[in-house]
Amino acid sequence: MSLKVRGLLAVSIGTVLGLSLSLGSAVLAERQDQVRGDLPWEEARLLAEVLERVKRDYVDEVDDESLMEAAIRGMVANLDPHSSYLNAEEYDEIRINTSGNYSGVGLELGIAESRIVVIAPMESSPAEAAGVVSGDVLLSIDGVPVDSSDLNDAVMRLRGDAGTEVRVAILHAGSEDPLSVELVRSQILVSTVHSDYIEPAIGYVRLSHFSETSAADLRREVRDLSARAGGRLGGMVLDLRSNPGGVLDAAIEISDAFLDDGLIVTAEGRVPDASFRLTAEQGDILDGAPLTVLVNGGSASASEIVAGALQDNHRATVIGTATFGKGSVQTVMPLSHGRAIKLTTSRYYTPSGRSIHMRGIVPDVVSDPAVVADADTDPQLSRALDFLKTQRVARSNTE
């Protein structure tokens, strides 16, 4: 499959994982000639005037580099919650994190209602072990309040060497009293795909986020599950709950893995590279066996692309609660001296033309785990298994 825009796609910059990005160095090279044009001299003069006033009269001395970086950060951050300026250190962190090795506390953060919120804690992370959950509001780090207009700052303050401690104040949904949590940063090697053979001929695949290896890992796990089922699975559960997103290519490839044809996703932007229309190629790894997809409020971005593609193509039944609702694509564009900007370049749409931004994917079957008292059960998974069993019986009767 040819893909014009390679990169990462997610809700926002992740605290531990740079999942919010799409790497776009090729895009930069093609756009160099488009950056030139008439400068807005009146506005440039105003900027210079403000910089000079701050340098001369501000209570503390501030150097030119710090002032210019602050001006650039403010300009880009003011566009939307997902666009930001990255200095050399931040950009280097992103490139390292895409390999799946990182040191931090294991949080994926986003901005909602002018607050920094937890999209999802990463599996087996210090944050998950400490009880931080999706929807928690991040209030402070080491006693210093977070700035909801500067997500990057919160991201970088939560990073650090493995073994070091960081104290965060969070607010659980429905609670009025903040909770102080001590976290010990750790080195984490992310494994994005986990599988289990949970019922006769039925496989379960959990995808924690979308990395560069996720599509290949998923295909390998499905092959192993099929072998355990005697060569062919009778059905499968794809669990995307609390999956905050990741690599755009992986979302496309995983959607394609379950489709023989059909549209996967479209995107629209102002420049040619930001607009694309991607379709599936023949080859369903389940050979048409029933498929269910589990989602919740922590399923975002790339997860929503997969859920939307499989739902709109009538390939899978989506079960759970409404997803996060992030329908834009960010591209990381390298600048001089190892710096970059992360810029929203596209809005994407499901095959039926739906924009899920601020709306999310509405499941075909709504199943709320909060209504079940037994904490040892997974009602959404049970609902998915019951549905697959029914589909298997119906399919057997027609063959």
Give the catalytic positions in this structure.
Answer: 301, 312, 326
314 is written with which tokens?
Answer: 């009538």
The span from the CA of 107 to the CA of 125, in Å, is 8
Phi then psi dihedrals of residue 175, to 5 deg: -105, 150
Max intra-chain CA distance, the chain: 83
* Residue 110 identity: G
How many Cβ atoms are within 10 Å of 37's Cβ, its own excluded?
Answer: 6
CA trace torsion 215, 188, 93, 132 (10° rounding) = 100
Angle at 19 between CA 368 and CA 361, to 5 degrees: 35
CA 159 to chain CA centroid, Å, is 18
The span from the CA of 82 to the CA of 199, in Å, is 41
The span from the CA of 399 to the CA of 395, in Å, is 6
The span from the CA of 399 to the CA of 392, in Å, is 11
SS3 content of the chain, % helix, strand, coil (to 5): 30, 25, 40
The span from the CA of 85 to the CA of 318, in Å, is 36
3-class SS of residue 260: coil
